[in-house]
């Protein structure tokens, strides 16, 4: 058991790599990507994961090797102190710097596409974060927000058309929130007093999570919603249902128990 510590530390790279290998089989990997542009984010993620993964394994193996080789129980030689190597220090400073600079430049296009090249569309919905709910305001039949025919829903269900580029306007009624669509690979911080935008094209119909990704208060954990991607026809029909419901003047007949 002389080399106990080096073997113990060997568990770190083994466990670390095993976690990533096993993760997809236990459904703790990335959520399903149903967006058109999400693969760019995912490929960036994978690129950085491989890069850091290889460096991680390499450095860990060096650690294990040294702790194995210079185990105190087997090495009787006294320790020698050295000032270090100047050229080695230059190398291990420049290499990471160049790598980081490369990543910074390499990701620029993905960033610009997700955050800067706003499409010239009218917002299909305004999303308002408030403690602790997401409220949705659709423009209504006239296509314009903040008019009398707006349709406002506060029940956390957001309907959007599939296979269509959509633009969302995102605001906050009180504090910082973050509108996060994991399946779209998009996340937008919401700052009170500022208009934020988010745009994407969903490729699959279905229901997906909306979550708040910025700790906004004690009820943060329940500030969630569901986005429904439906066909354009279904979307229009859904909005018409909402419109009629919102114009309701007659109560349902009472149910007397």
Q: Does 256 bind other proteins (CB under 8 A)?
A: yes
Binding mask of the shown chain, residues 118 to 147, with x at each position contacting other proteins by CB under 8 A: ------------xxxx-x-----------x
CB of 256 to other proteins, least distance (A): 5
CA–CA gap between residue 22 and residue 137 (Å, rounded): 42
CB of 148 to other proteins, least distance (A): 5
Q: Does 257 bind other proteins (CB under 8 A)?
A: yes
CB of 66 to other proteins, least distance (A): 19
Widest pairwise Cα distance in the chain: 93
Contact segment (CB under 8 A) with other proteins among 21-29, 44-52, 198-206, 247-255 equals 247-255
Contact segment (CB under 8 A) with other proteins among 28-36, 77-85, 114-122, 211-219 equals 211-219
Sheet hosting strand 133-138, strand order edge to edge: 151-153, 133-138, 125-130, 165-172, 196-201
Shorter beta-carbon distance to other proteins: residue 199 or 229: 229
158 neighbors 125 (Cβ within 8 angstroms):
yes
Q: Does 165 bind other proteins (CB under 8 A)?
A: no
CA–CA gap between residue 98 and residue 104 (Å, rounded): 10
CA–CA gap between residue 149 and residue 142 (Å, rounded): 7
Per CB under 8 A, the list member of 3, 6, 107, 157 interacting with other proteins is 157
Shortest CA distance to 224 belongs to which of 216, 215, 208, 212? 212
Shorter beta-carbon distance to other proteins: residue 133 or 197: 133
Contacts of 213 (CB under 8 A, 6+ apart): 178, 179, 180, 187
| Site for other proteins, rule CB under 8 A | 1, 4, 130-133, 135, 147-148, 152, 154-157, 217-219, 222-226, 245-251, 254-257
């Amino acid at each position: 058991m002389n080399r106990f510590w080096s073997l113990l530390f060997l568990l770190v790279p083994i466990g670390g790599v095993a976690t990533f290998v096993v993760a997809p089989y236990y459904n703790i990997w990335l959520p399903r990507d149903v967006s058109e542009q999400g693969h760019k984010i995912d490929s960036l993620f994978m690129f950085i994961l491989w890069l850091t993964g290889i460096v991680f394994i390499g450095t860990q193996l060096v650690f294990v090797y040294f702790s194995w080789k210079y185990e105190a129980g087997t090495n009787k030689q006294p320790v020698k102190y050295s000032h270090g190597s100047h050229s080695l220090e230059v190398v291990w400073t420049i290499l990471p710097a160049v790598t980081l600079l490369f990543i910074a430049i390499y990701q620029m296009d993905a960033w610009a596409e997700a955050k800067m090249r706003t499409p010239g569309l009218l917002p299909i919905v305004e999303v308002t974060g408030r403690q602790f709910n997401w409220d949705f305001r659709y423009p209504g039949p006239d296509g314009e927000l903040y008019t009398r025919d707006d349709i406002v829903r506060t029940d956390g269900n957001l309907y959007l058309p599939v296979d269509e580029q959509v633009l969302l306007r995102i605001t906050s009624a009180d504090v910082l929130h973050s509108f996060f669509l994991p399946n779209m690979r998009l996340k937008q911080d919401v700052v009170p007093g500022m208009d934020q935008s988010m745009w994407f094209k969903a490729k699959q119909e279905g229901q997906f999570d909306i979550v708040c990704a910025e700790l906004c208060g004690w009820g943060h954990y329940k500030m969630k919603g569901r986005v429904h991607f439906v066909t354009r026809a279904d979307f229009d029909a859904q909005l018409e249902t909402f419109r009629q419901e919102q114009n309701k003047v007659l109560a349902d007949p009472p149910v007397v128990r």
